[in-house]
Amino acid sequence: MHIDYSIDDSSKKYLYLDVPFQQGLQHMYLAFKGKEFGLSLGDQISHFTAGFFKMIPIIGHIFAGVDTALHSKNLTVIDLSGIDDPFERGRVFAQKCKSQLKEVYSVIIAQKGSDEELRKAAKEFEKQIDKEQIQELHGIAEGIGLPYADILFMHTFLDASPGAYGCTAMVRKVASAQPEQRIAAANHSVHIEEYDPYNESVLRKNALFWARISEQKPEGALKESGVADTIQSIVFDTNAKKITLCASGKKAFNKKFQTFHPFGEGSAQPLSQKRIELLRNLDWPWHFLGQNTILLIKKVNGKKIANVTFPGYIGTLSGMNEDGLALAICSRGDISNAKGTPNPLLFTQMLARCKTVEEAKGFLQTHSQGSSMNLVLADKDKAVSLELRGMGDFDEVASIAEGQ
C-alpha cells in the first residue's frame, strides 16, 4: 500500500542496491503511520515484516526483486458499458477495484480529509453535481463500504483547493501536402484579471511543442517532454478512436505503451489524409495513483466514454468518447467556484453530451466550472487550448482550425 514499485530505466542497474532499501523505508513508514491510513494491525505488522527483510543484504534484494515483478502491472481495464443504472454502475466499479480503491482513498483522505474548509466546500459543490452522478457516487460508497461523504470529498477537493499541478498536453494535425500543425499547453496559472502563458512550465510546453514524433510511435514525444513525476502518458487518436498509454509510479513514458480500442476497432473513421492526435503527460507527484491507473469504459447518456482514471474516481482528467472527442486538463488555476460543477465531473458530462470541439465549447459556455483551469480539446477536425475562468467563461488561447 502506497509503495512505489516502479523502476525507471536509469535505476534498473541499481535494482539490487538502492531499490530494496527504498522499498523497505516505505514499508516501515506505513508500519508506524498505519493508523492514519486506516490500516489494520495485521497490515501494519505485514509492512513492518516486509520492511525488515528488505533491508537485509541478499535476502532483501531477492524479496524486492520478486515484489517489484509482482506489482509491475499498473493498468487495469474496467468495462461497465453494459450497465445503464448509475447507482449499480458505481457499485460494480467499486467492487471491481476494491483493494485499489481503499489504497487510493485512504492515502488522500489521510492527507486532506481533516480539512474542514474542504469538507464544507464539498457540500456546496454537491448542489451543482448532476443527479445521475450523485447516484453513481452513492453506488461507489455502497460497493466499497465507505461513507458517502468521503466519496463526495474525493470528487471535489481538487476544485476546492485550486493551485498548480504540473501537466503538459499537445495536439498535432497531420495532413498530406501540408505542414504539420501543433498547439501545446502546460500547467498555466490562471488569473481572472490577466493571463500570462509564460509564467510557468514554458520549457516543458516548448519541449512538447518541438518534440520529434515518429509516425509509428508518436508517444516518443511524451518521453522528450516528460519529468520524473509523470504517472500517465497518453495518446488519443481522434480518427482511429484508439488510446495508446502507459502508467507507472513515475517516469511513465519510459514504460511499454499499450494500445486500446475502447469503442471497438470498427468504430474508427475511414482512413483519410489527415488525422488529429492529442498527446498528454499527467505529471502528478502522487506516485501511488499512477500505479493504480484504470481505463474506465462506460455508457452515459447513451454515449460510450473511455476515461483514464483511478479507482473509484468517475471524474475525467483525460478521456475520449465514441465520437472521437478527446480532452486533457493541464492545471488547476487560482480560482475556486463552489457555485460551479467540479471540473472533472463536468468534463465527464461534456463527453457524454458532445460530439465535437464546437459543441464542447457551447457546453462550457452554459455551465459554470468549479475552478479555473487549462483545458485542451480535440476532435477529428479541430483542436483548441482553453483557459477556463471558473464561471462559464473562457479564453481560446490557441487552435487548429477546420479546413487548414
Q: Which residue type sits at 73?
A: K
Give the strand order in the sheet containing 293-300. 75-79, 293-300, 303-309, 318-321, 326-336, 371-378, 383-388, 394-400
What are the E-state strand segments in 201-302? Answer: 230-237, 242-247, 258-260, 274-283, 293-300
Note the pLDDT of residue 166: 67
Quote the CA–CA distance of 31 and 14 in Å, as a whole number.
25
Q: Are residue 131 and residue 170 in the same domain, yes or no?
A: no
Note the pLDDT of residue 195: 43
Q: Are residue 359 and residue 274 in the same domain, yes or no?
A: yes
Q: Are residue 194 and residue 142 in the same domain, yes or no?
A: no
The overall longest dimension of the chain from CA atoms, in Å, is 66
Q: Which residue, 52, 70, 88, sits at the end of a domain? A: 70
Q: Which DSSP state fits 260?
A: E
* 112 domain residue, yes or no: yes
Note the pLDDT of residue 237: 94
Q: Are residue 230 and residue 324 in the same domain, yes or no?
A: yes
Asked if residues 371 and 162 have their Cβ atoms less than 8 Å apart, the reply is yes
Q: Which residues face 260 on adjacent strands? A: 243
* Residue 9, number of CB atoms within 10 A of its CB: 9
Q: Which residue, 159, 174, 196, sits at the end of a domain? A: 159
* 1 domain residue, yes or no: no
Note the pLDDT of residue 5: 77
Q: Are residue 65 and residue 194 in the same domain, yes or no?
A: no
Q: Are residue 195 and residue 276 in the same domain, yes or no?
A: yes
In the predicted model, residues of the chain with pLDDT beneath 50 are 189-200, 403-404
* 4 domain residue, yes or no: no
Q: Are residue 197 and residue 96 in the same domain, yes or no?
A: no
Quote the CA–CA distance of 282 and 168 in Å, as a whole number.
7
Q: Are residue 132 and residue 184 in the same domain, yes or no?
A: no
Q: Are residue 336 and residue 188 in the same domain, yes or no?
A: yes
Burial of 69 (0-12, 13-18, 19+ CB in 10 A): exposed
pLDDT digits (tens, 9 = 90+) for 74-107: 789 999 999 999 999 999 999 999 888 988 898 8
* 63 domain residue, yes or no: yes
Cell digits of residue 327: 480532452
Q: Which residue, 70, 103, 121, sits at the end of a domain? A: 70
* Residue 350, number of CB atoms within 10 A of its CB: 24
Quote the CA–CA distance of 37 and 251 in Å, as a whole number.
26
Look at the alpha carbons of 313, 314, 318, 322 in this order and tell me if their dihedral is positive or negative: positive
* Domain residue limits at 133: 75-159
Q: Are residue 240 and residue 375 in the same domain, yes or no?
A: yes
Note the pLDDT of residue 191: 43
The total domain count for the chain is 3
* 141 domain residue, yes or no: yes
* 3 domain residue, yes or no: no
Note the pLDDT of residue 210: 81
Note the pLDDT of residue 335: 82
Q: What angle do CA 225, 229, 231 make, to 5 degrees?
A: 90
Asked if residues 122 and 156 have their Cβ atoms less than 8 Å apart, the reply is yes
Asked if residues 371 and 345 have their Cβ atoms less than 8 Å apart, the reply is no
* 119 domain residue, yes or no: yes
Q: Report the candidate in 360, 345, 372 with the shortest Cα–Cα distance to residue 278.
A: 360
Note the pLDDT of residue 9: 59
* Residue 362, number of CB atoms within 10 A of its CB: 12
Three-state DSSP at 49 gives: helix
Q: Are residue 132 and residue 224 in the same domain, yes or no?
A: no
Q: Strands 75-79 and 293-300, how do they pair? A: parallel
Note the pLDDT of residue 288: 87
Q: Are residue 133 and residue 173 in the same domain, yes or no?
A: no
Quote the CA–CA distance of 273 and 266 in Å, as a whole number.
19
* 2 domain residue, yes or no: no
Note the pLDDT of residue 190: 47
pLDDT digits (tens, 9 = 90+) for 257-294: 999 999 987 666 555 567 899 999 998 888 889 989 99
